[in-house]
Copies of this chain bind each other. A is one copy, B any other.
Amino acid sequence: MSKGKILIADDEQDILDIISYNLKNEGFEIFTATNGVSAIELAKQISPDLIILDIMMPLKNGIDVCKFLRSNSNFKNTIIVFLTAMNDENFEVKGLQSGADDYITKPVSTRVLISKVNALFRRIKNEEKEILVAGDLIIDRKKYIVTASGKDISLPKKEFELLSLLASSPGKVFLRNDILEKIWGTDVIVGDRTIDVHIRKIRQKIDMDCISTVKGVGYKFEL
């Protein structure tokens, strides 16, 4: 059984080859596309676990592909990451805003690539884990209890869920919309500042510096 299906889209054949080769060696099942349109086609057919998208591609660029996929509920649980050139600072934000989970900067070493991919796959499993551990923080989803530096902290439901969500994918930036959808649901409408306030309360209660703000995008949990 393969470790998972990965779709890679890039217009440079060399890059496609290198990445494919290495990830195949790691035991992943690899599919490739050389432009945005065929990336989408292929994605629909094979339902990959992870999609690696180059930004600049013919027919449809990576960001548009990502937006399209994200708007399709079939890909709600698909991990999408971008391949970006080192210098393009902007794409990082744009990429994250379009709903990507992470990005990888080109050129990328084999080792980094592999460990990133493995880390991303690990995330899938984390979301349903009973106990999340991050540094000094233990989040016990069964007991509904958070332990920070040995002290039990009881968070009310919303705060707990929010922290739990963020901590389920350390490093991943969660868009405000995603957070709203996952914690509040689609039908409930709450004001703009609601998330901030909850984030603040969490930061206050567990006094660790582990939730950081990514302006214009969202929040992420880290270390």
Contact = CB atoms under 8 A, between A and B. Distances in A.
Contact of A216 (B116, B119, B121, B157): B157
Contacts of A96: 125
Interface in A116-136: 116, 118-119, 121-122, 125, 130-131, 133, 136
Interface in A160-197: 169, 171-173
A142 B90 contact: no
Contact of A115 (B125, B131, B172, B215): B131
Interface in A137-161: 138, 140, 142-145, 147, 150, 154, 156-158
Nearest to A129: B102
21 contacts: A89-B115, A89-B122, A90-B114, A93-B121, A111-B147, A111-B150, A112-B138, A115-B131, A119-B140, A142-B169, A142-B171, A143-B173, A143-B220, A144-B173, A144-B214, A145-B171, A156-B215, A156-B216, A157-B214, A157-B217, A158-B216
Interface of A: 1, 3, 26, 89-90, 92-93, 96-97, 109, 111-112, 114-116, 118-119, 121-122, 125, 130-131, 133, 136, 138, 140, 142-145, 147, 150, 154, 156-158, 169, 171-173, 214-217, 220
